[in-house]
Chain A
Amino acid sequence: MTARVSTVPKQPRKGRWLALYVLLYLVFLYLPTLLIPVFSFNDSIAPVFPLKGFTLQWYASLFDNPRLAEAALNSVMVAAIAAAIATLVGSLIAYADVRRGSPLANAISLLARLPILLPGVVLGIALLVGVNLVGPGPSLGAIVVGHVCFCLPTAVVVMRSRFAAFPRSLEEAAMDLGANEWTTLRRIALPLALPGLVSSFMLAFITSFDEFIVAFFLVGTEPTLPIYIWSQLRFPRQLPSVMALGSLILLVSVLLAGLAEMIRRRGLKPPPKSQ
C-alpha cells in the first residue's frame, strides 16, 4: 500500500521542473511591483535603468504636502469604518450561513459574496445612483457605504472558513448545558472566532485602503489616497513622489496582510492538550 502510494503523482523529477516554474511565476508576480520601491530611491525623474544614485528626496517631498496628508487621513478613516462594519456584518452572515444554515442565511451569504463577480465599474455606478437617490450623494460617507459593500466578500469568506474550522460540538455542548443561542454566540463562537475577526478586519481594511474604482465614482470633494495618486499620474514630474508614496502604501499592505495571515494561522492551531 505504502509503496504504491509513493508512485502516484510524486515523481521527484517532475516536481523539480514544476518547482522551477513556480519560482519563475513568483518572479513574474513580484518583479514589476518591486520596481516601484526600487525607483522611489532613484535620483532621477525618469524610471529607467541604469539607476542614477540613491536619494531620499522623494520621500522627503511627501511630508510638506497638506493635500496628501488629508487624503491619507480620509483613507484611514474610511477604511477603519468600512472594515469594522463589513467585519461585524460579515461575521454574522457567515455564522448564520455556517451554523444555522437556513435557506435565507445561505442566500444572504451568497449575495454578500456577489461583489467579487461584479466589474468594479458596475458596482461603482450602481452605488453612485443609489447614494444620489437616498444617500448623501458623492462624498466620503458614500465611499464608506461603497467600501462596506466592496469589503463584505472578504469578511464573509474569511469568517466562513473560520467558523467552519472549529467543531460544532463545542457550541452543542454549551446549548446542552443550558446556554441559549445568544450566550452560545457571545461566549463560545465569537471568542473562538476572534483570530478570524481580527484578520478579517485587517484584510478588509487594506481592501478598502487600496480600493480605487468604487471610490472613483463615489468621491466628492475629499479624495482618498488612491484617488489622490490617480490625480497625480497625469504629471510626469510627480512620478518619483508617487513611487515613494506607492512604496509606503505597498509596505502597509504587505505588513497588514502578513500580520493577518499570522493571526489567522495561529488561530487555526488546535488548542493544546484538549481533545
Chain B
Amino acid sequence: MSPPSVGVQGVPAANRPAPRRSRGRLFDVLLNLPGGLITSTLILFTLALLLYLSLRVNDGQLLGSAFTFANLTQAVADPLTRTVLLRSIMLSAIVTVVTVVLAYPVAYFLAFHAGKYRHGLLFMISLPFWTSYLLRVFAWKIVLAWNGVLNSTLMGLGLTDAPLAGLLNTPTAVVITLAHAYAAFAVLPLYICLHGLARNLLEAAADLGAKPHQCFFKVILPLSMPGVMAAALVVFVPTVGDYVTPALVGGPASSMIGTLIQAQFGKANDWTAGAALAVVSMLAIAVVVLATRALVNRWVLPR
C-alpha cells in the first residue's frame, strides 16, 4: 500500500493506492465541513463575539467603536451583581448537591439491582427530560402558590388552618424546582459510571472480607467519583444561569444572574454590560468548577 511500491513491477504510475488515499482525504474534508462550519460559526464565533462585545464601549452601535475594560470592572465592582452572582452560585451549589445525592441511590439501583427492569426504568427517568422545561417549572408554581395545591391540600386535610406563606417566591422554591428539573441530568452520568465499574474489583473486595458498607464506602463510592463529578457539572453549570425558574417561582428576593443578564438585553438595553455580566459569570463558574475538581482530585479520589 505504501508509495515506494508504486511502479516496482513496471505497473504504470496510475495504480490504485495514491488516488484512493487522496479521495479519502477529500472525503474527510467534506465529512468535517458541515459540522466544522456550524460549530465554528454558531458556537465559537458567537461566544467570541460575546467576549468581544464585553470589551467594547456602548455608544449605540451594535459592536461599539472602542475598547474598554469598564464593563468588566463595573460588573465585578457592582455590589448588586456580586450579591446576585454569589447567590446564584450558592443556590446552584445547593441544587447540585441535593440533585446528585438524591440521584445516586437511583443510579446505584439501576446499575446493580434493576435487572430486567433497567431499560424501562432508565426510560422513565429520562422521559421528563424530553418534556417542556417551562411546563415543569410552571407545575411547581401551581404546587407552591399561596392558594396553590400544597396549601389547599394541607388545609383540606386539616393540617394547617391558614395557607403557609413561605412556599412560593423564596430561594427554597428555586432549589426545589431546579432540583426536580435537573434530576435526569444527574442520574444518567452516575448510572453510566456505576454500570461501567469493574465487577471483579467489587468481587475482590467482598472476597477479601469487606462488609457491604465497607465495599460501598471504600470501593464503589471512590471509584464512582468521576461520575459524581460529571453529574455535578451538568447540573451546576446550566442552573447558575437559569432564567425561567427564578422568574416563575423565585420572587424578587431570589433573582439569579440569568435574570440580570436578561434585563440588560431586555429593558435596560445595555448589551455591552450584559455581555460583561455573562463573561464574568462564565469565569466565576469556571473557577468554581476547577476549584472543586482540584479539591476532589486531592482529597477524595483513590490513589
Chain A: minimal CB distance from B185 (Å): 9
B149 touches A35 (CB 8 A): yes
Which of B27, B130, B151, B244 makes the CB contact (< 8 A) with A206?
Answer: B130
Q: Tell whether, in the assembled complex, residue A116 and residue B234 are in contact, meaning their CB atoms are under 8 Å apart.
A: yes
B80 to chain A minimum Cβ distance, whole angstroms, is: 17
By beta carbon, the residue of chain B nearest A109 is: B35
Contacts of B32 in A (CB 8 A): 92, 96, 102, 104-105, 108
Q: A265 touching B148 by the CB < 8 A rule? A: no
Q: Which residues of A contact B110 (CB under 8 A)?
A: 22
- Residues in B with CB closer than 8 Å to A93 are 34-35, 39
Whose C-beta in chain A lies nearest to the C-beta of B187?
Answer: A25
Give B199-234 as 1s and 0s: 1 = Cβ < 8 Å from A's Cβ atoms. Answer: 100110011000010010000100000000000011
B248 A122 Cβ-Cβ under 8 A: no
**How many chain A residues have a CB neighbour from B under 8 Å?**
91
Interface 1/0s, chain A 228-255, versus B by CB < 8 A?
0110010000000010001001100110
User: Judging by beta carbons under 8 Å apart, are B24 and A181 in contact?
Assistant: yes
Q: List 20 A-B contacts (CB under 8 A).
A: A10-B112, A25-B102, A25-B106, A29-B125, A32-B139, A35-B143, A89-B38, A92-B32, A108-B32, A115-B43, A119-B240, A121-B242, A126-B278, A129-B53, A180-B24, A185-B31, A213-B243, A213-B244, A217-B262, A261-B123
Find chain A residues with CB under 8 A from B36 CB. 104, 108
Q: Does A222 contact B (CB under 8 A)?
A: no
Consensus secondary structure, chain A interface: helix
A56 close to chain B: CB less than 8 A: no
Q: How far is the CA of A206 from the CA of B128 in the complex (A)?
A: 12
CB distance from A185 to the nearest CB of B (A): 8
B265 near A49: Cβ-Cβ < 8 Å? no
Taking CB atoms, residues of chain B closer than 8 Å to A47 are 142, 145, 148-149
B171 within 8 A of A: no
CB-CB contacts below 8 Å: A168-189 with B:
180-182, 185
Contacting A14 at CB < 8 Å: which of B28, B184, B212?
B212
CB contacts (< 8 Å) of A258 on chain B: these are: 123, 127
Does any Cβ of B come within 8 Å of A57's Cβ?
A: no
Residue among B46, B102, B134, B262 making CB contact with A126, cutoff 8 Å: B46
Residue A18, interface by CB 8 Å: yes
| Separation of A54 and B121 alpha carbons in the complex (Å) | 32
Separation of A252 and B113 alpha carbons in the complex (Å) = 32
Interface 9-residue window, one of A1-9, A58-66, A190-198: A1-9
Say which residue of B35, B136, B258 sits within 8 Å of A33 (CB atoms).
B136
Nearest B residue to A102, CB-CB: B28
Alpha-carbon separation in the docked complex, A182 to B153 (Å): 63
Hey, which chain B residues are within 8 Å of A19, CB to CB?
A: 109, 113
Q: Answer whether A111 and B44 are a contact pair too, CB < 8 Å, given A8-B202, A10-B112, A15-B109.
A: yes
Tally A-B pairs: CB < 8 A: 263
The secondary-structure label for the interface of chain B is helix
**Residue with the highest number of chain B CB atoms closer than 10 Å, among A14, A47, A122, A181:** A122
A121-B206 in contact (CB<8A) = no
Q: Please tell me if the beta carbons of B105 and A18 are within 8 angstroms of each other in the complex.
A: yes
Q: Is A21 within 8 A of B63, CB to CB? A: no
New contact pairs (7) apart from A121-B278, A242-B138, CB-CB < 8 Å: A9-B113, A29-B125, A29-B184, A32-B143, A89-B35, A115-B43, A246-B138
**Minimum distance in angstroms from A156 CB to a CB of chain B:** 8
Q: How far is the CA of A261 from the CA of B122 in the complex (A)?
A: 11
**Within 8 Å of chain A (Cβ to Cβ): is B18?**
no
The 5 closest A-B pairs by CB, nearest first: A119-B241, A93-B35, A48-B152, A210-B132, A257-B130
Which residues of chain A are within 8 angstroms of B240 by Cβ–Cβ distance? 119
CA A214 to CA B92, docked complex, whole Å: 20
The residue that A121 contacts in the complex, of B108, B183, B261, with Cβ under 8 A, is: B261
* Known contacts A108-B36, A145-B42; A212 and B271 CB within 8 A of each other: no
In the assembled complex, B15 has its CB within 8 A of some CB on chain A:
no
A50 interface residue, CB < 8 Å from B? Answer: yes
Task: Report how far A88 CA is from B37 CA in the complex, Å.
Answer: 13
Pick from A126, A128, A182: contact of B47, CB below 8 A. A126
Partner among B121, B133, B139, B241 whose Cβ is within 8 Å of the Cβ of A22? B121
Do A120 and B238 touch (CB < 8 A)?
yes
Q: What is the CB-to-nearest-CB distance from A162 to chain B, in angstroms, rounded to a whole number?
A: 16
Give A9 to B41 CA distance when docked, in angstroms: 49
CB of B180 closer than 8 Å to a CB of A: yes
Shortest CB-to-CB span from A220 to chain B, Å, is 14
Q: Which residues of B contact A15 (CB under 8 A)?
A: 109, 112-113
Tell me, yes or no, whether A36 is within 8 Å of chain B by CB. Answer: yes
Q: Which of A96, A119, A133, A152 has the most CB of B within 10 A?
A: A119
